[in-house]
Amino acid sequence: MPPRIVCVASSPVHEFQKEPLEAIRLLEGLGVEGDAHLGETVQHRSRVARDPSQPNLRQVHLIHAELHDELRAAGFDVGSAEMGENVTTRDVELLALPRGTRLRLGERAVVEITGLRNPCKQLDGLAPGLMAATLERDGDGKLVRKAGVMGIVINGGEVRVGDAIGIELPPEPHQPLEPV
């Protein structure tokens, strides 16, 4: 199947979970309209406390639905928008994309991937052990963060459940994703 969006979500307050919606509007250079993380500069509370003038590289949080499938198979009752993501995708290997990849969401919106989401202890508030379940080690012992990717809005537009996702890789050499 072609890559597609299976859930979109937003929350006007700094809560862990977001509310699933039929559609969200992405605003160029800002993020998700009405979302607590909307802004040109950081909105994540711990990052604001460190330096509120930092650019907001976390305007949109995307998680692959395959992670939810994996977590359910491991005994966690977790669904879309419950881990704080704005967009849940299906059939996109988000974690394998290089930094700078552009995702075309719906007819107009474009999100550029800036890096990985670093799983936080708030996941354990949703289900004990969930944070550990979103982390693993690869064959070389390197930590693999599976809690999705973060991005910035390059082109705004409405994004709806069921919309197609286009993938545009950046020029080579590709840079791997790091936590942002």
Per-position DSSP letters for 123-161, written without gaps between them: HHHHSTTHHHHTEEE-TTS-EEE-S-EEEEEEE-EEEET
> What would the CATH number be for the domain defined by 4-168?
2.40.33.20
Query: Quick check: 167 pLDDT over 90?
Result: yes
Distance CA 165, CA 5 (A): 7
User: What mean pLDDT do residues 27-39 have?
Assistant: 97
Distance CA 127, CA 77 (A): 8
Extract the tokens encoding 120.
Answer: 């936080």
Mean pLDDT, the chain, integer:
96
Query: Quick check: 3 pLDDT over 80?
Result: yes
Cβ contact 70:93 at 8 Å: no
Q: Is the peptide bond before 52 cis (omega within 30 degrees of 0)?
A: no
Per-residue confidence at 36, pLDDT binned at 50, 70, 90? very high
Read off the pLDDT of residues 56-101 as tens digits, 9 standing for 90 and up.
999 999 999 999 999 999 999 999 999 999 999 999 999 999 999 9
Question: Residue ranges of the domains in the chain?
Answer: 4-168
Per-residue confidence at 173, pLDDT binned at 50, 70, 90? very high
Distance CA 66, CA 174 (A): 24
Q: Return the closest-CA partner of residue 79 out of 125, 32, 126.
A: 126
pLDDT in the model for residue 47: 80
